[in-house]
């Protein structure tokens, strides 16, 4: 086990000492204002350019998370929390916003740790929330579609 696998299966804490339940329980203002949780909630095998000290998954950790029912349930809870945030807020519906990077990370992490169906489902729901708003820049939309 590792810090990331322990965090995702609900037995450990992130770098700030928060449990996954704490992060999923953040209110929308906290989700918007904090930038140090998304890398643990939706980890990747590549380093974060936004948070260079954030942990990075190994291939062995990916396998552990894919096979851990608690981690899978917690990834689903994190996904639903972020979708709820995007449903209730409008600030991300603009040409450039840090949430566009978060959305790309979430899609990539879900594809890696849960599977294509979960990643595509999140992507589809985000696009539906954005509706026909041409405000989101084409580059972000392209990143989402190739994540």
Query: What is the value of pTM for the model shown?
Result: 0.95
Q: Which residues contact 57 (CB under 8 A, 6 or more apart)?
A: 4, 43, 44, 45, 65, 112
Each residue's pLDDT tens digit, 45-57: 998 888 888 889 9
Measured CA to CA in angstroms, residue 92 lies from 56, 80, 132, 147 at distances of 26, 17, 14, 18
Instruction: Tell me which residue range forms the domain holding 43.
Output: 3-146
Dist. CA 71–CA 23, nearest whole Å:
14
Name the residue with tokens 């095998």: 45
The residues, ordered by sequence, that sit 6+ positions from 97 with a Cβ below 8 Å of its Cβ are 91
The number of folded domains in the chain is: 1
- Render pLDDT for 107-140 as a digit per residue (tens, 0 to 9): 999 999 999 999 999 999 999 999 876 689 999 9
């Amino acid at each position: 086990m590792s810090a990331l696998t322990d965090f995702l299966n609900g037995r450990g804490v992130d770098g700030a000492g928060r449990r996954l339940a704490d992060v999923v329980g953040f209110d929308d203002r906290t989700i918007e204002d904090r930038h140090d949780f998304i890398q643990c909630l939706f980890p990747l095998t590549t380093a974060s350019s936004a948070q260079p000290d954030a942990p990075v998954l190994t291939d062995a950790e990916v396998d552990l998370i894919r096979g851990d029912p608690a981690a899978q349930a917690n990834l689903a809870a994190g996904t639903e929390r972020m979708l709820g945030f995007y449903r209730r807020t409008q600030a991300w519906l603009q040409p450039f916003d840090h949430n566009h990077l978060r959305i790309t990370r979430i899609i990539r992490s879900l594809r890696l740790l849960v599977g294509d169906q979960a990643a595509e489902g999140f992507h589809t729901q985000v696009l539906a929330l954005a509706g026909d708003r041409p405000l989101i820049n084409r580059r972000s939309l392209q990143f989402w579609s190739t994540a």
